[in-house]
Amino acid sequence: MIVYLKGLAATGPGFENWNALRNHFSAGTSLNPDFVPRPQGGILPGVERRRASVTVKLAVDVAQDALQQSGMKPEDLALVFTSSNGDTNTIHQICEALATPERLVSPTRFHNSVHNAPAGYWSIASGSMQPSSSICAGDDSFATGLVEAATQCLAEGVPVLLAAFDTPFPEPLHEKTPGRQPFGAALVLDSIPHGSLAKMTITVDCGARPATTQMADPDMEDMRRDSSASRSLPLLAAFASVEPQKVVLGYSGDLRLRIAVEGVAMNQPWASP
């Protein structure tokens, strides 16, 4: 499969946006140890912004950054949101309420608990009636979301906005679940090369070969392993490179996703979102 990258965004521990992460990869700039994402949900109208959780805001913020960079209109893009944990705080709050004798679950909390809450909030905020999907594939949620987005892009002939996000659970679920840091990454994919930032050629191998790409820096490797969304880091690093890159991501079981990245305008400064 060949798809073209039209927009890109990322936020996570130590970096507010893609430019900060890109500078770290390409120029060795240090990450900011004090920075933790504080999602605003900027695209959401006032009522929805009050109702939406931190997880939803992280997902729609990173999606909006990638959309802005692409210069495309939200109503033209299909959506794929992908996450292993979903809305962690909402799930915790519901399970806590259901453990009390009253079992009172607020209507807003209940509708926020669905895995597709970010997709729902996004379509309300953007007015887009394009299809939206919300998927989960455990640790391989990012790679699986990338395939979902690429196949939709090619089969339906629509550009697709892919947003991967994960936030940590609060205790007591925290110790039983993956993910210690919030992480979000979003890509705008298109089947048309015009105006693209990079060309991605995606193939699938089976039998656990080749090995999945790891980060050379041990701290970044720890970050990569933290959540399903942060497993996008090797691909993000490839996008920061001037040279063509090959990245291997773990896919279902012993399947591997091999992604060849060729920068079309990779040696140009990236437009700030």
Q: Which residues bind other proteins (CB under 8 A)?
A: 1, 51, 79, 84-86, 91, 94-96, 98-99, 103-107, 110-117, 119-121, 123-124, 126-138, 141, 144, 147-148, 150-152, 154-156, 171-173, 175-178, 204, 206, 251-255
245: which strand partners? 261
Name the nearest CA neighbour of 127 among 184, 76, 172: 76
Q: Are 141 and 82 in contact (CB under 8 A)?
A: yes
Q: Where are the beta strands (DSSP E) in 31-108?
A: 78-82
Closest separation between CB of residue 43 and other proteins, Å? 13
What's phi and psi for 78, nearest 5 deg?
-75, 160
- Residue nearer to other proteins on the CB measure, 150 or 237: 150
- Residue nearer to other proteins on the CB measure, 95 or 265: 95
- Residue nearer to other proteins on the CB measure, 134 or 230: 134
Closest separation between CB of residue 209 and other proteins, Å? 13
CB neighbourhood size of 128 (10 A): 19
Closest separation between CB of residue 156 and other proteins, Å? 8
- Residue nearer to other proteins on the CB measure, 137 or 237: 137
Give the sheet arrangement for strand 160-166, strand by strand. 78-82, 160-166, 183-190, 2-11, 198-206, 255-263, 245-250
- Residue nearer to other proteins on the CB measure, 31 or 150: 150
Name the nearest CA neighbour of 236 among 31, 75, 35: 31
Residues with Cβ < 8 Å from 59, sequence gap 6 or more?
81, 83, 118, 122, 163, 165, 184
Burial of 259 (0-12, 13-18, 19+ CB in 10 A): buried
Closest separation between CB of residue 85 and other proteins, Å? 8
**Six token digits for residue 77:** 């893009």
Closest separation between CB of residue 130 and other proteins, Å? 6
Closest separation between CB of residue 152 and other proteins, Å? 6
Closest separation between CB of residue 226 and other proteins, Å? 15
- Residue nearer to other proteins on the CB measure, 17 or 228: 228
SS3 166: strand
C-alpha distance from residue 190 to each of 55, 109, 115, 142, 217 (Å): 26, 35, 25, 17, 31
- Residue nearer to other proteins on the CB measure, 17 or 167: 167
